[in-house]
Chains A and B, each alone.
Chain A
Amino acid sequence: MNPVLLWFHKLGSPPYFYRFAGRLIPWLYAITIIGMVIGLYGGLVMAPADYQQGDSFRIIYIHVPCAWMSLFVYAFMAANGFVALVWHIKLSETLAMTSAPIGAMFTFVTLVTGSLWGEPTWGTWWTWDARLTSELVLLFLYFGVIGLYHAIEDTRQASRAAAFLALVGAVNLPIVHYSVVWWHTLHQGTTVSLMGPSKIDPRMLWPLLTMALATHTYFFASLLARARVSLLQLESGKEWVRSQLGSGNPAEVSHV
């Protein structure tokens, strides 16, 4: 078997993943902190003020990376849910379910920072604009997945049911988005794009991209840390957990 594929198969095994994630987490957190310090300094101090919005535009260094992450995490959750349902991989179930609260948090931060920015700029905390509304629906979808996961007793069945709901939501999300765009639009269009030139000053752009990188590494660090705990709970009766925690008493593990 080719070495990359072999490594990927090994990664699906909880003990291997547990050790691998444990080694990776400090690095991810380090990159997150360095990236956030550089990105925030670049964004809040070095970048020039906007010619129209003045300094209030600087909230994009939190708002926009979080908004990107809210969608990225949902895609990540749905993709893992798909893998979990099709190939019954335990690790994917765990990853899908542990990413849901982080995604909900990113969505919430996006809504809060957006409304903080909207008050001085648009003169209102909330407006029923298309992007705001679809972000709100996204938050409800996250809540639905989290709620369903916690409502079912059996962890594995709960994660499969919630992963299925995440997939249904993923099918529905574009429809929701375009229906609310059709319904009402006020939010500005896309400024930064992957394809073609961005309509933003490069001095403003680089801190934004640094922050985007830092939020990604934060997500993965937080995800891996949560996944490690969930795996310990899920596998609490198994031998590797006992040897990992160095205690012979599995009852303690269930309270981690």
Chain B
Amino acid sequence: MKYGTTGAACAALLKRDLLLVWRRRGDALNPLLFAIIVVSLFPFALGPERTVLERIAAGTIFVAELLAMLLSLDTLFRSDLEDGSLEQLVVSPHPLSLLLACKIFIHWMTTALPLIVIAPLLAELLHLPDRVLPVLLVALLLSTPLLSLIGAVCVALTIGMRRSGMLLTLLVLPLIVPVLIFGAGACNAAQSGFAFHAPLLWLGAWLVLALVLAPLAAAAALKISLS
């Protein structure tokens, strides 16, 4: 039997996953609505004063977007597990870590990228100063892939459980504390007029590390869960 090249397999997987998201494009809007609603709850709870909202804006947007992504992580492998295609990925001759990296990439592109696109809207809702917005966007661009990668490892471990939502939160949140500290830290530093490059560089370094290690870890975790 002849197999296609690994590149062809990845391309086919990318195309298939994109198509699946496109066919159910209504679902892709849910994380966006969730983030918008969470952000709009804060003025109700804290009062509409501009000074208060300005101060908490960056952190609130960060937490809301991370939570929105966390809730959508559950769908990363679920449908593939149900229709059996996940097992096909595991037994395929191509490196599982590479195939999972493709799936994680599509997941990031379809959930995190729209969240980053609406970040300026959220920033306006909370009166984030304009000069902080670019820093917020860069920080989100660096930290959302990290969340997808780390989350994928945890999803791979909890796969097959009927109600894994709460447990997934418990597993992922402690692991992404540094992402939050550096991401929101860069925005707060920029807002106070301090240098904000160091935390962004740290995020970048960590992202490079996770890009290499997380797909391998996710593949190993998936093999444990499906054994």
Interface residues of A (CB under 8 A from B): 85, 133, 137, 140-141, 143-144, 147-148, 151-152, 157, 160-161, 164-165, 168-169, 171-172, 175-176, 179-180, 182-183
Given contacts A137-B174, A165-B171, A148 and B158 within 8 Å (CB-CB): yes
- In the bound assembly, the distance between CA atoms of A165 and B174 in angstroms comes to 12
Distance of A101 from chain B, by nearest CB (Å): 15
- In the bound assembly, the distance between CA atoms of A176 and B154 in angstroms comes to 17
- In the bound assembly, the distance between CA atoms of A133 and B174 in angstroms comes to 11
Interface residues of B in 150-189 (CB under 8 A from A): 153-154, 157-158, 161, 164, 167, 170-171, 173-175, 177-178, 181-182, 185
Task: Specify the chain B residue showing the minimal Cβ separation from A156.
Answer: B227
Label chain A's interface by main secondary structure: helix
Whether the pair A144, B224 counts as a contact (CB closer than 8 A) is no
Interface residue B206 (Cβ < 8 Å from any Cβ of A): yes
Count of CB-CB pairs between chains A and B under 8 Å: 70
- In the bound assembly, the distance between CA atoms of A183 and B185 in angstroms comes to 8
Sample of 14 more A-B contacts, CB < 8 Å, known A144-B171, A147-B167: A137-B174, A137-B177, A144-B170, A148-B158, A151-B158, A152-B161, A160-B227, A161-B221, A161-B224, A169-B175, A171-B213, A172-B174, A176-B177, A183-B181
Query: Interface residues of B, CB < 8 Å — how many?
Result: 26
Q: List 30 A-B contacts (CB under 8 A).
A: A140-B173, A140-B174, A141-B174, A141-B175, A143-B170, A144-B167, A144-B171, A147-B167, A147-B170, A147-B171, A148-B171, A151-B161, A151-B167, A152-B161, A157-B225, A157-B227, A161-B157, A164-B157, A164-B217, A164-B221, A164-B224, A168-B175, A168-B217, A169-B174, A169-B175, A175-B206, A179-B177, A179-B181, A180-B181, A182-B181
Whether the pair B153, A168 counts as a contact (CB closer than 8 A) is yes
- In the bound assembly, the distance between CA atoms of A143 and B167 in angstroms comes to 10
- In the bound assembly, the distance between CA atoms of A133 and B178 in angstroms comes to 11
Q: Chain A residues with Cβ under 8 A from B177's Cβ? A: 133, 137, 176, 179-180
Q: Chain A residues with Cβ under 8 A from B109's Cβ? A: none
- In the bound assembly, the distance between CA atoms of A8 and B153 in angstroms comes to 33
